[in-house]
């Protein structure tokens, strides 16, 4: 008998037709491309890289993102999440990388990154023994803050650029393109059918891109300059090891491990309707540590899960490994062919912002979905409330910590996820585990005490002689 092939896009092992898988995978690529190339662009400016070094950092970041994604989809031994998740050069490291790079250059970054990656693997190995310290109230808080902290990025993109000081930022034309893209995504996702509904993001990007072309907002200058093929080199930069740089990188790598827990939990809960397995969590952390360590030898920056792609999985429920492997393959080709990558970078920021803001909203809702898996007791609401208040508050008012050491400012000032993770983790350890049932019993006991006191007072009044008023 001929074996029936699994072609479902809603099954991890499903292998749909290429015509159906292609648009679904491209929207993952388009959602992540800006996040992949932005960190190397920023760091190149901080360390004073030459134009050639800047192009090299961008190229290797794209290549590393493709390799990392494929590695996690299929796994090797105990390494790899084997989940429908996109991995790549992470934006969460940027504040720390800026601080290290400004003082020690790209060599100091890569040396500290090597140690940070090893630290991540240590965390991944021991996570099976400490996973109980990250219940849904902690993981859900982390995912919720990830979603909330991404909104300003989407709005900045819709306004024209990630930098508020960029020329033309906030121009009504930028907003018009961003809003047209957003409306297209909404119409396609809510009223479309079949592939159109599932590919709502890429449909929105295509419409927004065509509008941008008509308005003269697309430049192909980088495409003409980019070469067709470029092979990565081992150790294009040397490594230096500085204690302060290593300490800062180790801390952010541990914090990023908590974010990875949140993103992988959001992937399984939002896209697969189940809890994250310990084997998947261990493999994800071990694999992320290994790819971060290996990337240092090729000049790529640290890797991480991509939250915007987690949102796509949660929104579409498309979890086919084949679909995401195509996305990883595209990134791999883009890394080997800078010209292919340059074409993707011609997409204007307003288009990317309008297409991804709904995705960031889905990440937030996935965090809420994780939170309500735990009961909303006063204890748990205190943990979530304080984590949100402190993380988002400090992010909105960075001047509030200007008197703190510079390394601490760089660690928590631009990354609310760090404050949220630390706050939720510590409070979960310190606060007594009082459940809703415990709270109900406590209220009943208090009510019984009140009734007892009222009854006692009534009996004293009844004992007074007739005609005499009770003292009081």
What would the pLDDT profile of 188-213 be if each residue is shown by its tens digit? 888 888 777 777 887 888 899 999 99
Determine, yes or no, domain membership for 139.
yes
The per-residue pLDDT for range 159-169, each reduced to its tens digit, is: 887 667 777 88
Average pLDDT of the segment spanning 321-332:
93
Is 308 within 8 Å of 150 (Cβ atoms)?
A: yes
The DSSP output letter for 82 is -
- Report yes or no on 399 lying in a domain: no
Q: What angle do CA 286, 392, 43 make, to 5 degrees?
A: 55
Structure tokens at 204: 């929105």
Average pLDDT over residues 243-268: 83
**What pLDDT shows up at residue 109?**
93
Domain membership of residue 241 (yes or no) is: yes
pLDDT higher at 240 or 461: 240
> Mean per-residue pLDDT for 258-283?
87
Q: Is residue 332 part of a domain?
A: yes
pLDDT value of residue 1: 46
d(C-alpha 379, C-alpha 309), whole Å: 32
Residue-wise pLDDT for 346-405, tens only, equals 878 898 888 878 877 777 887 888 788 778 888 899 999 999 999 888 888 878 888 887
pLDDT > 70: what percent of the chain? Answer: 91
What confidence category does residue 152 fall into, taking pLDDT thresholds of 50, 70 and 90?
A: confident
Q: Is 318 helix (H, G, I), strand (E, B) or coil?
A: coil
445 falls within a domain:
no
For residue 158, the tally of other CB atoms under 10 A from its CB is 26
Q: Which of the given ranges, 51-65, 110-124, 238-252, has the highest pLDDT on average?
A: 110-124
Mean pLDDT is highest, among 61-65, 165-169, 442-446, for 61-65
Calculate the dihedral angle through the C-alpha atoms of 167, 173, 175, 178, rounding to the nearest 10 degrees.
-110
Q: Is residue 389 part of a domain?
A: no
Q: What is the mean pLDDT of residues 324-340?
A: 88
Q: Enter the pTM of the model.
A: 0.72
Mean pLDDT of 35-58: 79
Helix (H) or strand (E) segment spanning residue 349: helix 349-371
- How many Å apart are CA 247 and CA 233, to the nearest integer? 28
- Looking at the 3D structure of the chain, how many domains does it have? 1
**Residue 143 resides in a domain:** yes
pLDDT of 434 reads: 79
Q: Is the pLDDT of residue 124 over 70?
A: yes
The range of the structural domain enclosing residue 363 comes to 18-378
Instruction: Please give the Cα distance from 372 to 380 (Å, whole number).
Output: 10
Q: How far apart are CA 243 and CA 430, in angstroms?
A: 31
Q: Are 290 and 83 in contact (CB under 8 A)?
A: no
Angle, vertex CA 322, rays to CA 317 and CA 324, nearest 5: 60
- Would residue 56 count as lying in a domain? yes
């Amino acid at each position: 008998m001929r074996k029936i092939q699994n072609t479902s896009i809603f099954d991890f092992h499903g292998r749909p037709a290429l015509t159906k898988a292609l648009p679904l995978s491209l929207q993952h690529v388009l959602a992540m491309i800006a996040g992949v190339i932005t960190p190397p662009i920023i760091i190149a400016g901080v360390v004073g890289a030459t134009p050639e070094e800047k192009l090299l950092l961008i190229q290797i970041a794209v290549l590393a993102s493709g390799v990392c994604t494929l590695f996690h989809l299929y796994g090797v031994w105990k390494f790899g999440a084997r989940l429908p998740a996109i991995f790549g050069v992470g934006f969460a490291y940027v504040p720390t990388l800026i601080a290290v790079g400004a003082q020690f250059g790209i060599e100091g970054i890569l040396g500290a990154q090597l140690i940070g990656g090893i630290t991540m693997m240590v965390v991944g190995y021991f996570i099976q023994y400490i996973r109980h310290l990250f219940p849904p109230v902690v993981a859900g808080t982390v995912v919720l803050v990830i979603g909330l902290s991404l909104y300003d990025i989407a709005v900045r993109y819709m306004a024209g650029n990630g930098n508020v000081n960029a020329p033309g930022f906030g121009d009504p034309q930028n907003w018009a393109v961003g809003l047209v893209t957003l409306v297209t995504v909404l119409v396609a996702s809510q009223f479309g059918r079949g592939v159109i509904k599932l590919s709502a993001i890429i449909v929105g990007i295509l419409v927004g891109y065509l509008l941008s072309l008509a308005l003269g907002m697309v430049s192909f200058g980088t495409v003409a300059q980019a070469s067709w093929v470029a092979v990565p080199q081992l150790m294009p930069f040397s490594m230096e090891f500085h204690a302060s740089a290593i300490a800062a990188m180790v801390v952010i790598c541990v914090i990023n491990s908590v974010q990875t827990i949140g993103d992988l939990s959001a992937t399984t809960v939002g896209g697969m309707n189940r809890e994250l397995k310990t084997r998947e969590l261990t493999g994800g952390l071990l694999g992320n540590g290994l790819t971060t360590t290996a990337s240092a030898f090729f000049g790529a920056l640290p890797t991480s899960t991509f939250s915007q792609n987690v949102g796509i999985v949660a929104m579409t429920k498309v979890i086919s490994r084949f679909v995401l492997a195509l996305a990883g393959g595209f990134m791999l080709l883009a890394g080997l062919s800078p010209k292919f990558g340059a074409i993707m970078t011609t997409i204007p920021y307003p288009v990317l912002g309008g297409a991804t803001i709904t995705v960031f909203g889905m990440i937030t809702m996935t965090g809420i979905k994780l939170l309500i898996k735990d009961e909303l007791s006063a204890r748990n609401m205190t943990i979530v409330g304080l984590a949100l208040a402190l993380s988002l508050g400090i992010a909105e008012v960075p001047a509030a910590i200007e008197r703190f050491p510079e390394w601490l400012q760089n660690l928590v000032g631009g990354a609310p996820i760090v404050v949220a993770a630390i706050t939720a983790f510590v409070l979960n350890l310190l606060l007594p585990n009082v459940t809703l049932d415990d709270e109900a019993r406590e209220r009943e006991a208090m009510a019984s005490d009140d009734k007892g006191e009222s009854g006692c007072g009534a009996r004293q009044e009844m004992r007074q002689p007739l005609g005499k008023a009770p003292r009081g």
